[in-house]
Amino acid sequence: MSQLSDYHRDRIQSVLGASPLIPVIAIRDPEDAIPLCRALVAGGISVLEITLRTEHGLRAIETVRSAIPEAWVGAGTVTSVEQYRQVESAGAQFVITPGVTESLLEFGVTSAVPLLPGIATVSELMMGYQHGYRAFKFFPAEVSGGVAALKSFGGPFPEVVFCPTGGIRRATAKDYLALGNVKAVGGSWLTPEDVVAQKDWAQIEDIARGSLADL
């Protein structure tokens, strides 16, 4: 079985260490990608997860990578090796999946773009652990046990760290970040659909800055 390299582990640790909050970004209008991401960066967010939940995700990764080189720009909601290859070509600096398969874990070991695999159970964590992964997305966090679950994971896996996402709100993010095994928290509250639809980039910047100040 292939094992994850120290380079991959270090890169993911760098991503998780760059920002305690990671916005889950779904681009519905391609013209929004750059101003939305610029507003988040202006508000202090330096890691951007652009998801493949819409048809504009791949192109948005390309354009934001070019326009905002100072930020970490990655791909979220990657569910297949084919998509993993596509986001590699688009210039993604990291990949986040909602769950795990053996093929994705194996591909992540060999890819130049590091993977943060999504898990919801200890069994899934152990699948990734066998391949050398020591950092995971915990998704969907709230319905999978939330803070209590992550505390329990820390017993048998003290060296594993997490980025919980799913159902987390601005008011609860700090509860997760108070845990020693949580390095960052992901959330869609940083990019409310109605605010993005109104193209109110000043409010997006305020939400980012205020959310960081709440921690």
Residues known to be catalytic:
49, 137
Is 80 exceeded by the pLDDT of residue 1? no
Is 90 exceeded by the pLDDT of residue 28? yes
The confidence score (pLDDT) of residue 208 equals 98
pTM above 0.95? yes
Domain boundaries, given as residue ranges, for the chain: 6-214
Is 80 exceeded by the pLDDT of residue 126? yes
The average confidence (pLDDT) of the chain is 97
Q: Encode 74-103: b = buried (16+ Cβ within 10 Å), e = exposed.
A: bbbbbeeeebbebbeebbbbbbbbbebeee
Q: Per residue in 29-85, pLDDT tens?
A: 999 999 999 999 999 999 999 999 999 999 999 999 999 999 999 999 999 999 999
Is 80 exceeded by the pLDDT of residue 111? yes
Q: At the topology level of CATH, where does 6-214 sit?
A: TIM Barrel (3.20.20)
